[in-house]
Structure 1
Amino acid sequence: MMTTPRGLLLAACSLLLTACASRGPTLPPTAVLQDPAALAAAQAAQATREAWLQGHASWGFEARVAVSQAGKGGSGRLDWQQQAGRYTAQLSAPVTRQSWRLSADGDGALLEGLAGGPRQGGDADLLLREATGWDIPVQTLSDWARGIAAAGRAEFATNGQLQTLEQAGWQIRYGEWQAGQGDTPTMPRRIEAQRGESKVRLIVDHWQFDGP
């Protein structure tokens, strides 16, 4: 039986992701901040860190990523680079030396590295989903990866840190934060996101920010 182009693409992406698969346990629930005064302080601190982040348009991160879709998936490494309204996301599996590269800006998106050659489209999420079968929220990743809650419904933990965020149909959970260094604010380290049967987990190893 002849394999379809989509089947080849799915196989390539599956091999890429499962090459270094390692899923950890789901983050346990923690208490939600409810005291009005403490909540107001947490919201003010969140607004301050978001203002700093919005003032730094060039940034990036390196992370371990795990993806699952209807019980199938795997893991690899994600390198994200943002320059104002343009970003490049590269996912790689070091064992197989395979990778794909997604770049996008206001004019559209380009996906490279899969069987069949590059693909272009106006919607990065849709382009990635149609080509690979994986549902990754790349359109909103730049916000929720940094812990920006302006476009979503947020809850805070009792220590005042952002704990959950609902955005674009995704439920995002912040399980661990990196301490701020210099004028850089605290940044997410461990993030879990879910929408239906689609799940994404990030463990950020390194954040990078250029000047304003």
Structure 2
Amino acid sequence: MDGRINHSSSLARTRSLSSLREKAVYDVQPTTEPANLMATIFWIAASLLESDYEYEYLLALRLLNKLLIHLPLDKSESREKIENVQSKLKWNNFPGLQQLFLKGFTSVSTQEMTVHLLSKLISVSKHTLVDPSQLSGFPLNILCLLPHLIQHFDSPTQFCKETASRIAKVCAEEKCPTLVNLAHMMSLYSTHAYSRDCSNWINVVCRYLHDSFSDTTFSLVTYLAEVNLPP
């Protein structure tokens, strides 16, 4: 093993790290303000997510996991700081955090951190920092997190309960009938109050998910199937 992460061509690099270092990061003016400094480090970590080397990719995940505690994306002031730095980077084809995180599913050693970071993106999954298209971020996020929720269905961890609760909150805010139903199913999961078995819960959740995002679910599932998951 050479320490590289194997992933499909659809998750190939969008910009070389060397180019980003030479033309972008060093263009940002130094600052002593902590929030601005963290925003700059955020983009350095984001650029490392394009690395083909597992140890660099895992380092980036860990760094972003810590940064997002102090620079939460659901706060407008945090996004403003990050976007201000982004405007100086000239990273015009930035694919969004979500797509860069998906590569983490291709290695056992990066899967757990990837799941935790994707959970942090639930409330901002429609934002351009997460999904530049602003079309598929939320349903793709649910599809990525669903296997983890299913795995712990009989005895959900606190993380699983919080994740389901976050999904439920976003669904409820949409005020769409099928998403309201999906919100109810996720709320039942978060309180461990669903009275039927896991298979039934999966069937109902998948039906509501497809009904809510019928234009994109097939292509998203196909896209995820192209990711080479470890055995």
Sort the TM-score into its range (normalised by shorter chain): under 0.3
Greater RCO structure (CA 8 Å; 6+ sep): 1
Please report the TM-score for the alignment, with normalisation by the length of structure 2: 0.21
Q: Considering fraction of residues, name the structure with more strand.
A: 1
Please report the TM-score for the alignment, with normalisation by the length of structure 1: 0.22
